Structure 1
């Protein structure tokens, strides 16, 4: 990531003025132009500067989304879809101004098909709201990126999270979707069948497109039965390499682990300070198993044996819900916990993903970089699928620190790409990682650009994101 990659998009002031006038007259109080409202809809959870839209509109139906997009298309005005604003690479910024399309009022559950294990929802519904709605059905939606993100935003950024090693990512769990395209047409990409060979896979084209190809207006998602029993615990290791070797052995043994999260020693220190816990301040794995009472006990015992073989332990596990909740609350608050390590600092959160056989090497080299560059940067990872995150704590008023952080992130991204990995496992490209996309995918970026031009010839859907100039 480099600030030089975060460019503006040429403004169309006359078109924006016309669209603002149309939307204000049509939507009344549901169209806002106040400074604080616009700022809230362009905030970034990293150091990328805020680039505000010119107005924020709150649609309630698909027809209203179509109406908004058509008005913006007529006057060539940017449209930036907004869920809850938890994306990490500047995806909700408006570099060319325009209209922020806040989907929070499109938050209904449209249908639950318990026998088929699927649900159709509107994009503004959050994952926690969906699981609260499903509680009495015995079903749940497992994708858990940590933040209580909107499901439309999770699909748009191809979100993942702690459960991905067992349940996959949003890419694997969206059966179908509807979307409004750049010309205002509404399309449906698939039916509810579990598989199809009918035409191009438009569902997966739009999942992960970060609002640059279409505005998602509904999603049909896979559901899963709530496990009869869940066990989990924390296991310390003498080194990151030992922990990663235990992860590889666990997966190769076929143990159906649901979550397996690596926390390095610095991050464990932050978690202990923030959550007032007393876990060993060494690399640790947070592990969880789903299944029957007997099954989760057996899986926990087998993992404990594997950990011991790699110098880890003791593995202290529990099936008591309250104790597990405390454990995972601490893990989910790792981002906020990190700031106790450098009070007053801001964070640059970045992620990469590599084949798990290269994971220990990649993390070890990354920790060496952190030490040699004098950074404060704890690490957490969804290590069951080779994905890890680094939060660089820095003084954003100090250009030298920003330059050092950018140098570190560039080295990390290129290291992961060189290991046949990716510059982002789940954060997405947005603005922050555009400079690395061609290094990773080469001429495939030109194919992506051709798709963008075909579907959005006037470049009104979230311009200035994903594809480098």
Structure 2
């Protein structure tokens, strides 16, 4: 039972599609956040589900850990090879297998990115709505139960995955779900694997819900003098039932970062960035209703546009917020954390977090998908500065405590990975032990993405 024996056998099977080059190992050992590099012993590039099954079966025989890899954009160290072993890179499995226009669904391979899927769908009048910002792979998005800027209207990956093909820890291939929009047949295995972070199996195919491309889209931005009125505006918007497609919050520090990084000219104060989808008349009515609410809540400068280039510029800037904030402190590492609370407690959560960060010695811009109660802090730490890293971890810990106290969750979209593992018991109690039992039932040797999700894995 050894990793070298597994890799020797896999080398015979895959040839040059099993890589042990330093550059490949380094690439698959890095992450977008503050975690140290953890390279695997080798990287496999399968072409088919059958190959993935053979790879996993071989690793099971020799006791070799297996970690799935999509685009490497996760923020909690999900795809790091904590115990070495094999990383399975799905970049070669990136095809659209079928688009069923009448049923509004698509069957895709896990290495396909969301942007590539939507390019394929342009001529169909359909699109896939989940937008986490990064051009993530769809397999990775399912594995982490991703969401993002459009979740307030279209939901998360949990709401948009109809079925999966999964390779289990012993190499068996199973299918979960169907193309039907609902089912009462048995346990919901699709939901079990969506968000399992590769700890129960490797996703090799996805059946996704599609949506009709909106006839009209408008987007806009408005400013507020303080965080409180901005967040209260979000709460009122949701409670009024205005069908927002996106409603994003950025604080003054993030606005300043946008100005420096993207050449924006935003007042250095809190802002809301919004988007509306629907008919031309419906979009105009929604924007006008929202604009009146902004004025009532003390906001200013609300301007909206249906011009595609202006909307693209706005959301490109928002999607690059992480890099803009990193650039605000050149050379810094980002300890990026998120929390999600019931919408009625959002203002309290954001204001307490902002006050806590203001007392710290490190910067920490706040932004987020506040339409569903989810926001992020990007805590900027000097590399190698242990005191700053400890301070950032303490701030993140208090965010977790705050989320739970206010009836929320320790992570609304980033997932557990390595960063939130220590908080699972606090949120789930005995339910975390049940998760461990499920893990042991499906992966008794603990080889699938070890060190993540459950206790003692």
Normalised to the residue count of structure 2, the TM-score between the two structures is 0.99
Q: CA deviation digits over 1:193-249, x for unaligned, max 9?
A: 000000000000000000000100100000001111001100111221111111111
Q: Which residue pairs with 1:76 in the alignment?
A: 63
**Alignment partner of 2:406 out of 400, 403, 419:** 419
**Counterpart in 2 of 1:25?**
12
2:198 maps to: 211
Q: Does 1:344 align with 2:331?
A: yes
Rounded Cα–Cα distance in structure 1 between residues aligned with 2:331 and 2:192: 40
Within 5 Å, which residues of 2 pair with 1:53-68?
A: 53-68=40-55
Deviation, 1:396, is 2.4
Q: Is the 8 A contact 1:304 1:314 kept in 2?
A: no
Q: Does 1:49 align with 2:36?
A: yes
- Cα deviation for residue 43 of structure 1 reads 0.8
In the alignment, is the contact (CA less than 8 A) between 1:376 and 1:392 conserved in 2?
yes
Superposition misfits of 4+ residues, deviation over 4 angstroms = none
Aligned to 2:82: 95
Question: How far apart in 2 are the matches of 1:431 and 1:459?
Answer: 16
Candidates 169, 174, 197, aligned match of 1:182: 169
RMSD: 0.8
Q: Does 1:265 align with 2:252?
A: yes
1:221 aligns with 2:208: yes
Q: Residue 445 of structure 1 is aligned with which of 428, 432, 437?
A: 432
Query: 1:353, CA displacement in angstroms?
Result: 0.5
Q: Deviations over 1:34-70 (max 9, x none)?
A: 1221111121111111111110000000100000000
The aligned residue for residue 389 of structure 1 is 376
Provide the residue aligned with 1:374 in structure 2: 361
Aligned equivalent of 2:315, options 300, 323, 328 = 328
Cα offsets for 1:307-343 (capped at 9, x unmatched) = 1111012211101111111111111111111123211
- Which residue of structure 2 aligns with residue 358 of structure 1? 345
Partner in structure 2 of residue 146 of structure 1:
133
Q: How does 1:290-309 map to 2 (within 5 A)?
A: 290-309=277-296
* Uncovered stretches (5+) of structure 2, i.e. residues with no partner: none
Q: Count residues in correspondence.
A: 456
Q: Distance in 1 between matches of 2:8 and 2:116?
A: 34
Query: SS in structure 1 opposite 2:2?
Result: helix
Q: Deviations over 1:88-135 (max 9, x none)?
A: 111111111110000111111111001101000000000000000000
1:10 equivalent in structure 2: none
Q: Determine the C-alpha separation between the residues in 2 that align with 1:441 and 1:42.
A: 30
Listed one character per residue, the Cα deviations across residues 120-179 of structure 1 (whole Å, up to 9, x for unaligned) are 000000000000000000100010101100000000000000000000000000000110
Matches of 1:366 and 1:426 in 2, distance apart? 18
Flag structure 1 segments of 5+ consecutive residues without an equivalent: 1-13
Partner of 1:11: none
After superposition, give the CA deviation of every residue in 1:418-458 in whole Å (9 maximum; x if it has no partner).
11111111110001111111111111000000000000000
Partners of 1:340 and 1:17 in 2: CA distance: 41
The separation in 1 between residues aligned to 2:183 and 2:274, in whole angstroms, is 35
The separation in 2 between residues aligned to 1:329 and 1:52, in whole angstroms, is 31
Counterparts of 2:50 and 2:186, CA distance in 1: 26
The question of whether the paired residues in 1 share the 8 Å contact of 2:6 and 2:62 is answered with yes
3-state DSSP of counterpart to 1:314: strand
Q: Secondary structure at the match of 2:300?
A: coil
The answer for the alignment partner of 2:158 in structure 1 is 171
Contact 2:340 2:411 in 1 (8 A): yes
Q: TM-score if structure 1 supplies the norm length?
A: 0.96
1:121 pairs, out of 93, 97, 108, with 108
The answer to whether the Cα contact below 8 Å between 1:177 and 1:216 also exists between their aligned partners in 2 is yes
Q: Secondary structure at the match of 2:444?
A: coil
CA contact (8 A) 1:180 1:215 kept: yes
Provide the residue aligned with 2:22 in structure 1.
Answer: 35
